[in-house]
Amino acid sequence: MARDRLRVVGPALIEIPKMPALQLALLEAAIEPHRANRRFAIQFATMDWPVRSVLLPSLERLAGDEDPAVRAQVAMALRGVPGGLPSVERLIGVLQGDQVSVVREAARSPYRSDADGDRVLPQHTDAQSP
pLDDT at 112: 59
The closest of 72, 61, 1 to 31, measured between CA atoms, is 61
Contact 73, 42 (CB under 8 A): yes
Whole-model pTM: value is 0.71
The closest of 47, 102, 107 to 75, measured between CA atoms, is 107
The closest of 48, 47, 49 to 119, measured between CA atoms, is 49
pLDDT at 62: 92
Positions in the chain whose pLDDT score sits under 70? 1-2, 10-18, 83, 110-130
Give strand pairing partners of 112: 120
Per DSSP, the residues of 30-62 read HHSTT-SSHHHHHHHHT-SSSPPGGGHHHHHHH
